[in-house]
Amino acid sequence: MRLQRLVARGFRNLADLDCELPAEGLALLGANGQGKTNLLEAIAYPVLFRSFRGAADQDVACAGREGFHVGVTAAGDCQVNVSATWAGTGRRKRIAVDGEEPGRLAEAIGRWVAVAFLPEDVALGGGPAAERRRYLDRLLSLASRSYLAALTRYRAALAQRNAALRQGRDTLVRLFDAPLAEAGAPVIRARLAWAEEASERFRAELAGLGERDSLCLRYRGRPELAEEAAWPAMLESAAPRDQARAMTTVGPHRDDLAIEVGGRPLRAVGSTGQHRTAAVALKLLELGSVAEARGSEPALLLDDVFAELDRERQARLARRLTSGAPRQIFVTAPREDELPPGMGVPVWRIAGGRVA
């Protein structure tokens, strides 16, 4: 899947732009604060229709503007456009795919697909479980519409159940047990299946990146909850704890994608280099999983990803990214000498939000 055209207006510090993009991607060079990450963010926004930094739409808009617009045209003339506007307390986000507004957001998600690796993604290796849950949910949602649908239903049931717990309405809490189980079971099944298949590939990616220690990837949670029939007893057992904490303590929202060294958590015993390498390996798994599920290579967005890798690991990663099926790569760096050789993409520059 290749991005042919990008339109951005009122987005972050970027000057309004409408440009054709090289089929192989590009290396975007510029000093800090000039807009390199903002351009990648604009490219990625129409994937899930939110900022990959977790920013609110009001913070994505250029200062002084009451909205923004981003549009992408991918190979095959697929067009995805999103405009967000607000005035006073009124807000509106309009999404269009090939000129038509989808009935639901889920119908638009995944029409344009890109995988991004940001400096903060190092938390995938050494950070809290929530980071890896978000990683899994994003990956599986882009790979499978049925997973996205189940996850959406699960989150809605969970929010309503937690609200009832906070209000102390036990009867109402029980009403959400069945919807929680119905949606939660397929979420856990999909996660377990992915983790089992990805475990060996994770080791292979680490070896290819030069990691010498043996790191293990596994799903940590309640595997029995992959079956809907197991939920009633589990929820009943957790009821006193749920009431005491005023929150649901059982389900996929509590699980983790554990990375271990010798049976111990990587985040507790791993080096900074191992955390970064594990995060890169997870991103390569995401890239491969989404490509396999969709039958085409997603665009790859790399924000200063080579900065803290030594030259050997930079070269290994560059070879890995440019081998196999052709893919479009957008990579940022402050200077050209900070890019490893062999990326094979045109060099563009950005200053003050203006791309040249």
pLDDT per position as a tens digit, 90-149: 678 889 988 888 888 888 888 899 999 888 888 888 889 999 999 999 999 999 999 999
How many whole angstroms separate alpha carbon 191 and alpha carbon 135? 11
Residue 60 and residue 316: Cα distance in Å, rounded?
Answer: 34
Per-residue pLDDT, 85: 78
Please tell me what DSSP assigns to residue 121: G
The confidence score (pLDDT) of residue 127 equals 85
**Tens of pLDDT, residues 226-252:** 999 999 999 999 999 999 999 999 999
Strand, coil or helix: what is 72?
strand
The span from the CA of 160 to the CA of 137, in Å, is: 20
- Average pLDDT score, the chain: 90
Using CA atoms, how far apart are residues 320 and 303, in angstroms rounded to an integer? Answer: 17
The dihedral of CA 336, 339, 340, 341: what is its sign?
Answer: negative
pLDDT reported for residue 88: 55
Cα-based angle 14, 19, 73 (whole degrees, multiple of 5): 105
Provide the 10 A C-beta neighbour count for residue 263.
7
Could you give the CA distance from residue 15 to residue 113 in angstroms, rounded to a whole number? 24
Per-residue pLDDT of 286-321, as tens digits, reads 999 999 998 888 999 999 888 767 778 788 888 888
Q: What is the pLDDT of residue 75?
A: 79
How crowded is residue 112: how many other Cβ atoms within 10 Å of its Cβ? 24
Q: Strand, helix or coil at 130? A: helix
> Domains of the chain by range and CATH?
125-293 (1.20.1050.90)
* 8 Å CB contact between 349 and 28: yes
Cβ proximity of 114 and 43 under 8 Å: yes
Q: How confident is the model at residue 89 (pLDDT cuts 50, 70, 90)?
A: low
- The token pair at 112 is 């344009």
